[in-house]
Amino acid sequence: MTTIGLLGAPSSAAAHWPGQERGPAALRAAGLVELLRTAGLDVADHGDRPVRRWAARPSASGLNNLDAVVEVLQDVRSALGRVLAAGQVPFVVGGECTLTLAMVSAMVTAGQDVGLMYVDGGQDLMNFDDHPHEPIADGMGVAHLLDLPGTAPELTGFGPRRPLLSPEQVCFFGYCGDDEDLHGRVSSWRFQAASVAADPAGAAAMAVSALTSVTERFVVHFDVDVVNYLDFPAADVPHYRGLTLDQAMRALAVMVRHPGFAGLTLTEFNPDHGEPDGSTARRLAEAVAAALAPRERLGP
């Protein structure tokens, strides 16, 4: 892995409620940058973007706080453009799941065609038409990347092409919720938590092999809600059938050491849900640094 371009995106604009906007600062205070460097990584710290806190602001499209969501994504995409121009591997510390829209859009804008490894407790395929009583963009990120019906044009058009990704360029990994592809439109690779738990590294190797059979390079979206909340209470919205933190990190380690790995977003950490002494943030920072620590690259 070359130099990591670390960028904080302290936003809860697209979330269900406030809290995630404090995630990047909590991880910094827990020593994330120092831990990454101690693990042997070359880190270029690009700082944090402005804090954007959740607000109750329904929009004409139905999604809550949509103008702020778009503004955050525009700002993060611009900052990622500078990371990519410097030849660095972007690592976005969020913040909500919609930040992966900014990551993919920045990569495509820079001429880098990538797939998406979506490590998440859900698939984020919801749309406003099917879920009008939950108008939260955070659960709709992949639906907008794929330009599915019922999504907001302000987000489906967020990039140099529409859609930004096709279903075969996406692999869902570690999800524990019900299948969200209600209309059978998304023919993506899928690895449920129950099938991953027995051999996380092996499952990750299979998932990477499947994804890179379609696209040589990929970014990883890692939502901490892929982890069982009772094992590690950090997610903004809890799941109770997910992986353990150790299982999730063993899978992540395989993904980031593949030659096709092109970037990482870490999302949905809400410090309010962890221990008040910062030990939950420290545990997450240590786990991420260990997963990203340089070791011999795995083949495709």
CATH code of the domain covering residue 76: 3.40.800.10
For residue range 130-158, what is the model confidence (pLDDT) as tens digits? 878 889 999 999 999 999 998 999 999 99
Q: How far is CA 89 from each of CA 7, 142, 192, 217, 296, rounded to the nearest angstrom?
A: 11, 22, 27, 12, 18
Domain presence at residue 93:
yes
> How many structural domains are present in the chain?
1
Domain presence at residue 162:
yes
Rg for the chain, CA atoms, rounded? 17
Domain presence at residue 297:
no
CA distance 42 to 26: 21
Domain presence at residue 300:
no
For residue range 62-94, what is the model confidence (pLDDT) as tens digits? 899 999 999 999 999 999 999 999 999 999 999
- Rounded to an integer, what is the distance from CA 98 to the centroid of its chain? 8
Residues 6+ apart with CB under 8 A from 287: 245, 246, 249
Local confidence band at 299 (pLDDT 50, 70, 90 cut-offs): very low
For residue range 3-30, what is the model confidence (pLDDT) as tens digits? 999 999 999 999 999 999 999 999 999 9
3-state secondary structure (DSSP) of residue 252: helix
Q: What average pLDDT does the segment 177-193 reach?
A: 86
Domain presence at residue 299:
no
Q: Which domain holds residue 15?
A: 4-292
CA distance 93 to 80: 12
Local confidence band at 297 (pLDDT 50, 70, 90 cut-offs): very low
CA distance 270 to 167: 29
Local confidence band at 179 (pLDDT 50, 70, 90 cut-offs): low
- The pLDDT score that the predictor gives to residue 143 is 95
Domain presence at residue 206:
yes
- The pLDDT score that the predictor gives to residue 169 is 97
What's the one-letter identity of residue 257? R
Question: What DSSP assignment string belongs to 85-109?
Answer: HTT-EEEEEES-TTHHHHHHHHHHH
Q: What average pLDDT does the segment 252-275 reach?
A: 97
Q: What average pLDDT does the segment 181-203 reach?
A: 93
- The pLDDT score that the predictor gives to residue 62 is 83
Domain presence at residue 77:
yes
CA distance 99 to 96: 6
What's the one-letter identity of residue 47? G
With a cut of 70, say whether residue 264 has pLDDT above it. yes
Burial call 229-262: b when 16+ CB within 10 Å, e when fewer: beebebbbbbbeebbebebbbbbbbbbbbbebbb
